[in-house]
Structure 1
Amino acid sequence: MSATACQNCPLRKRAIFTPMSREEVAFTQSFKTGEMVVDAGTTILLEGSNSPQLFTVLKGMGTRYKTLENGRRQVINFLFPGDFAGLQAGLMGEMKHSVEATTSMTLCVFRRSAMFELFQHHPERAYDLTWIAAVEEHFLGETIASLGQRDARQRIAWALVLIYERLKAVGMEVKNAVPLPYRQQDLADALGLSLVHTNKMLKALRDTKLAEWQNGMLKIRNIPALAEMALIEESAPDVRPLI
């Protein structure tokens, strides 16, 4: 399979991503070494590892997680098309969490060794990396706020609205539904809930016809009502850089 040229990247046309100049596209192409296709269940980045590569998700979905001392897995968040992975290893020398493919994935592969060239000669793209790191920190802050201030129903509504809008923004919505191939346990872990409680709340949302998550598909019938339940305003995701 031939690699996708950055100039023809299908994600670039999506309004969620910041437009790139011809020079930025050319540098990104030189930064990119190819593409990697992995099967579901493949570990892409391992906690404690020192990866020579950085990745952008072109297709598919993944999971970020930490392994606890007792061997249990704590889900941090999810990876969707356009997301960047491996920045921790690039800046801190090793990964502080692992990344696993939830579905089959196509990843754009970048040279970690060229990252400092980016900071030296392409400050605009370096700023994009800083922005990505800041957004990840902000999202973790939002998650902590959600754990502390939202009840179970509100947490699940919050997560489903954010996930739905993010996947819609990259063109994955069809007839008010988006693919969501995760397990209920993954969502429960990410939101600090038990599996039983999560299942109960999802059933309540389904019974009230607000949202339905079955067979790997998430359908939301009333986004404004679900956003109100989540204590957030309905809005499109922030425009973000694409590396």
Structure 2
Amino acid sequence: MIVGQGRSNGQITPCELCPLRKQSNLREFDADELSFVKQFKVDELRVDPGASFLREGTRNEHLYTVLNGWAFRYKMLDDGRRQILNYALPADMVGLQGSLMNEMDHSVEALTPLVLCVFPRAKLWDLYSRFPSLAFDITWLAAREEQLIDENLVSLGRRTALERTAYLLLHLFVRAEEAGLVKNNTIQFPFTQQHLADTLGMSLVHTNKTLKRLMASQAVRWKDRVFEVVDRNALVEIAGDNVTPRRPRPFI
């Protein structure tokens, strides 16, 4: 087992008491679906910040739903440079690629203390064959990941530094809203400017200067990792696009 991660020691959150089920933007399960998911879930995994619980090039016998915390997907180049591909928040699924393709082509690291629901790959076909509604949910989650990667590619290829920074922060803010993590237009983001730089494909110096320009717009405030959207319309205008989540959205 990788240092920084541990099993639940029998302390597993019952699916019927799952805190995610209280989120109004997540779809409800019917009784049969909930009964199956209770059998599908076999454990919970706890991961310390900074630990990579999925690694590029390894086989993965499980897939996971984030129950609590933040993680990020990333790839490393041979010279040590890192590209962050995306972030995983509560209700997001990770490890599906490794479950279906037999091998991960990226790694996943915990950004905060992380709690994951554990599902065995061996039971995935049972889900697809018995519960088309849950199978559609997994397909939707996979398609959503493709959509998020598409937006990241647009940012890296065509958006200016200011636009891509504004869009990324708006995107993460909206996803945090989905997860019920935003209070009074404010959230404590767990990532650093280095994480942003590695996501945006910019140097740390360039990222810092761009953030200062964004703060000067008065659209947002960000101090001591506490991020506040002051003028949402202005942030959307700077980003050049809005982020409109689907509600209610699927999760497993």
Provide TM-score, normalisation by structure 2. Answer: 0.91
CA contact (8 A) 2:167 2:236 kept: yes
Quote the residue 1:87 is aligned against: 96
- Distance in 2, matches of 1:206 and 1:17, equals 32
Give the CA deviation at 1:167.
0.6
- What is aligned with 2:200? 191
Aligned residues: 243
Q: CA deviation at 1:237?
A: 5.0
Superposition map of 1:47-62 within 5 A:
47-62=56-71
Per-residue deviation, 1:236: 4.4
Aligned residue number for residue 242 of structure 1: 251
Moved over 6 A (4+): none
Structure 1 pair 106–234 and aligned structure 2 pair: CA distance change class (3 A): closer
1:6 aligns with 2:5: no
Structure 1 residue corresponding to 2:55, chosen from 31, 46, 60: 46
Q: Deviations over 1:114-143 (max 9, x none)?
A: 111111111211111111111111111111
Note if 1:228 corresponds to 2:241: no
Written as runs of structure 1 = structure 2, the 5 A alignment for 1:1-243 is 2-233=11-242, 235-243=244-252
Aligned AA for 2:206? H
How big is the shift at 1:17? 1.5
Structure 1 CA distance for aligned equivalents of residues 209 and 247 of structure 2: 31
> Counterparts of 1:110 and 1:203 in 2: how far apart (Å)?
43
SS at match of 2:27: coil
Structure-2 separation of matches of 1:77 and 1:152: 18
Deviations 1:45-65 (A, max 9, x none): 011111211111111101110
* SS in structure 2 of the partner of residue 81 of structure 1: coil
- Pair 185,237 (structure 1): closer, same or farther in 2 beyond 3 Å: farther
Deviation per CA, 1:16-67: give whole Å up to 9, x if none. Answer: 2222111111111110012111111111101111121111111110111011
Q: Deviations over 1:169-228 (max 9, x none)?
A: 211112321121112121112122221111111112223322122322221111111011
Q: Give the RMSD, CA atoms, in angstroms.
A: 1.5
CA distance in 1, matches of 2:87, 2:243: 20
Distance 1:221-1:28 versus aligned 2 partners, 3 A rule: same
> 1 CA distance for matches of 2:248 and 2:242?
16
> Structure 1 stretches of 5 or more lacking a match?
none
- Name the TM-score, length of structure 1 as normaliser: 0.94
- 1:69-94 Cα offsets, whole Å, 9 max, x none, are 22322111111111100001110001
- Report sequence identity in percent: 41
- Structure-2 separation of matches of 1:97 and 1:234: 25
**Structure 2: unaligned runs, 5 residues or longer:** 1-7
